[in-house]
A and B are shown apart, each in its own frame.
Chain A
Amino acid sequence: MSAVDLEPAGGRAPELAPALAIADLRHRYGDRVALDGVGLTLGAGELAILLGPNGAGKTTLFSLITRLYDRQSGAISVFGSDLRQDPTTALSNIGVVFQQRTLDLDLTVLQNLRYAAALHGLARGEARARITAEIERAGLAGKANEKVRRLSGGETRRVEIARAMLHHPALLLCDEATVGLDIPGRQAILDRVRALSAEDGVAVLWATHLIDEVRPADRVILLHRGRILADGPADEIAREADVASMGEAFTKLTRAAGA
C-alpha cells in the first residue's frame, strides 16, 4: 500500500529518504540549455536557499520537481518516490508557492482554500479544520471571506503559503515568493517559512535572486546558467571565495562562470 492510501493527502513520508534528491538533471528548450547536470539533496526538515539571477534555471527546476514538465534526463525523487514512476505519492508530499500569483482573484480566501483542499482529496470536515487553522496561522482570520482581489500583495502570498501547507506536505517549494513585496512583507513571509522548517520539520527549497534574504548560516545552492556553482553554508561559500560576504561571493562566482 502506498503512502497515499494510508493518508488521503500529503502526510509525512519515511524520514530515512531525503526530502528531495535530484541527480544529473538536464533540460533544454530547443537549443537553449536551461539546466545542465544539476544535482542536489535536501534532508527532511532542512531549509536551503536556491540563489540565482533571473534566467539561472530556478523556475525550470521547480517546474521539473512539480512535474509541470517532464525531465529529459536525470532523476528526481521526493521522500524516496521517483517523480516519474510514482507522481501521485511524490506530488502529495510537495507544497508549492509559485513565482506567479495563482489564486483565483474573484473567489474569497476561504473559497480558494476549499478548492485546493478538494484537489488534494481532503474530506469536508478535515478540510474545514485545516483551512481554519491555516488561515489563523497566516494571520488572516478577519479576511477569510474577503475576495483575493482586495488583499495586499503580502496577504496574497500568505494565503498562497496557507494553501501550499493545507495537505500537510513535508516539502515546500517557494519560487521567488517575496517578489514585489515591501521589506516588512518580505520579512513576514520569510519568518513564516523559516518557522515551518524549524518548528514543523518541513523541508524548504526557497528560490530567490535577492541576496539579502540569505543568512550567514543558511545553506545556499548557487545556480547560474543552469549549473550549480556552489552548495554549502553561506559564510563558508564566502570564505572559500575569499570575500567578506555572500553578496560578494555571488558576484565573484557568477562573473567567473560568465555573467
Chain B
Amino acid sequence: MKAARYRRCLQGVIWREAMRFAQQRERFFAALVRPLIWLFIFAAGFRSVLGVSIIPPYNTYITYEVYVLPGLVGMIQLFNGMQSSLSMVYDREMGSMRVLLVSPLPRWYLLICKLMAGVFVSLMQVYAFLAIAYAFEIDVPPVGYIAVAPALLLTGMMLGAIGLLLSSLIRQLENFAGVMNFVIFPMFFASSALYPLWRLKEANDTLYQIASINPFTHAVELIRFALYGAFDPGAAAAVLAFLVLFLGAAIIAYDPARGLTGRLGGGPV
C-alpha cells in the first residue's frame, strides 16, 4: 500500500515534468542546439589541431568529434541539472514548490522524485542528440547506446543533485546568472570533456589536478566508457560518492528542521 503511494508520487512528478517539457518545445531545441554547435562547428574546427591518440576505451585513433561526443552528452546533462535548479527557484518564487513540499510523503523522497523527473527529461535530450550525431556518422558501437543508459541515470542524478543543492542556496532567479559563470563553465572547461587529462597534465599541472577531482570529469568518463560498452569503476565510484554527497547536502538544506528554511525568513521554500 505504502509502496504504491510512493510509486504514484514518483510517476506524478515525472509526468508533470514531461508535460511541462512538452509545453516548452523551444527548451528541447535550445538544449540540443548548444551541443550540436560544439560538435559541428567547434569540434570540426579543432579536428586538425587536436589529434587524440589511442587511450581507453578507444581501440584506435579517433577523430576529435568522436572524442568530444561523451563530453557533449555530459554537457546536456550538466545544463539540464542546472535548468532543473533554475526551475526549482522559479517554482519557489511562483509558489508551486510549496505544493510539492506540503504533500505528506517524506521530503527527501519528494526531492528524489524531482531529481528523477529532471533525469528523465535529460535522457530524452541525450538520445535525440546521439541520434543526430549518428545521422552525421559520429557514432559509437550499437551496444553503447544501451550500455550508456544506466550511466546516464547515475550521472544525471549526480549533476541534478548539484542543481538541487544550488537551488536551495539561490534566493532569487536573478542570481542564476552567477551559477552559469561560477559553476557550469568552470565545471565544463576544467574537465576531460574537451581534452584528455594527459594532455591537460602536459599543459598545466594545477589545471590537471583540478580536473581530476572535478565531478564532471568523472561523469564524462563514466559516459565515455559506457558508450563503448565498457565500465570505468573508478569513475562510477566517484560519481556515486558525489551523488551521495550533493544529494545529502541538498536534503539537509531542504529539511525544515535542519536547513536554512524559516530561520532567515526565506530559504528553500
Q: Nearest chain A CB to B262's CB is how many angstroms away?
A: 3
Are B1 and A63 in contact, CB atoms less than 8 angstroms apart? no
CA distance A87 to B105 in the complex (A): 8
For chain B, the bracket of interface size reads 35 or more
Are A30 and B95 in contact, CB atoms less than 8 angstroms apart? no
Are B264 and A102 in contact, CB atoms less than 8 angstroms apart? no
Are B105 and A119 in contact, CB atoms less than 8 angstroms apart? yes
Q: Is B60 interfacial (CB-CB < 8 Å)? A: no
CA distance A84 to B105 in the complex (A): 13
Are A68 and B98 in contact, CB atoms less than 8 angstroms apart? yes
Q: Interface stretch among B8-16, B31-39, B192-200? A: B8-16
Q: Is B2 interfacial (CB-CB < 8 Å)? A: yes
Q: Please give me the residue from chain A that is nearest to B16 by CB atom.
A: A115
Q: Nearest chain B CB to A55's CB is how many angstroms away?
A: 12
Q: Nearest chain B CB to A140's CB is how many angstroms away?
A: 18
Q: Interface stretch among A104-112, A185-193, A223-231? A: A104-112
Q: Nearest chain A CB to B218's CB is how many angstroms away?
A: 34
CA distance A92 to B102 in the complex (A): 9
Are B98 and A98 in contact, CB atoms less than 8 angstroms apart? yes
**Which residues of chain B come closer than 8 Å to A100, judged between CB atoms?**
94-95, 98
Q: Is A117 interfacial (CB-CB < 8 Å)? A: yes
Q: Is A103 interfacial (CB-CB < 8 Å)? A: yes
With A102-B99, A104-B16 as contacts: A123 and B8 at CB distance below 8 Å = yes
CA distance A123 to B103 in the complex (A): 16
With A5-B1, A67-B102, A107-B19 as contacts: A119 and B94 at CB distance below 8 Å = no
Q: Nearest chain A CB to B144's CB is how many angstroms away?
A: 34
Q: Nearest chain A CB to B40's CB is how many angstroms away?
A: 32
Q: Please give me the residue from chain B that is nearest to A116 by CB atom.
A: B99
Are A66 and B6 in contact, CB atoms less than 8 angstroms apart? no
CA distance A114 to B94 in the complex (A): 19
Q: Is B214 interfacial (CB-CB < 8 Å)? A: no
Q: Is B4 interfacial (CB-CB < 8 Å)? A: yes
Are A121 and B6 in contact, CB atoms less than 8 angstroms apart? yes
Most buried by A among B6, B16, B269: B16
Q: Is A4 interfacial (CB-CB < 8 Å)? A: yes
Are B9 and A119 in contact, CB atoms less than 8 angstroms apart? yes
CA distance A4 to B5 in the complex (A): 10
Q: Is A120 interfacial (CB-CB < 8 Å)? A: yes
Are A67 and B265 in contact, CB atoms less than 8 angstroms apart? no
Within 8 A of B (CB), among A96-150: 96, 98, 100-104, 106-107, 111, 114-124
Q: Is A177 interfacial (CB-CB < 8 Å)? A: no
Q: Is B233 interfacial (CB-CB < 8 Å)? A: no
**Which residues of chain B come closer than 8 Å to A84, judged between CB atoms?**
257
Within 8 A of B (CB), among A1-43: 4-5, 8-9, 27, 29-30, 32
Are A114 and B12 in contact, CB atoms less than 8 angstroms apart? yes
Most buried by A among B24, B94, B99, B267: B99
CA distance A120 to B263 in the complex (A): 28
Q: Is A205 interfacial (CB-CB < 8 Å)? A: no
Q: Is A245 interfacial (CB-CB < 8 Å)? A: no
CA distance A27 to B152 in the complex (A): 43
CA distance A66 to B1 in the complex (A): 24
Q: Nearest chain B CB to A161's CB is how many angstroms away?
A: 13
B243-269 Cβ-contact flags toward A at 8 Å (1 or 0):
000000000000111000111110101
Are B95 and A101 in contact, CB atoms less than 8 angstroms apart? yes
**Which residues of chain B come closer than 8 Å to A64, judged between CB atoms?**
262
Residue numbers of B with Cβ under 8 A of A are 1-2, 4-6, 8-9, 11-13, 15-16, 19-20, 23-24, 94-96, 98-106, 110, 255-257, 261-265, 267, 269
- Interface contacts beyond A68-B98, A118-B13, A121-B8: sample of 9 additional A-B pairs, CB < 8 Å, sorted by A: A30-B263, A63-B262, A68-B262, A88-B104, A102-B94, A106-B20, A106-B24, A111-B19, A118-B15
- The list of the 8 closest CB pairs from A to B, nearest first, reads A118-B12, A69-B262, A121-B5, A29-B265, A100-B95, A119-B103, A70-B256, A102-B95
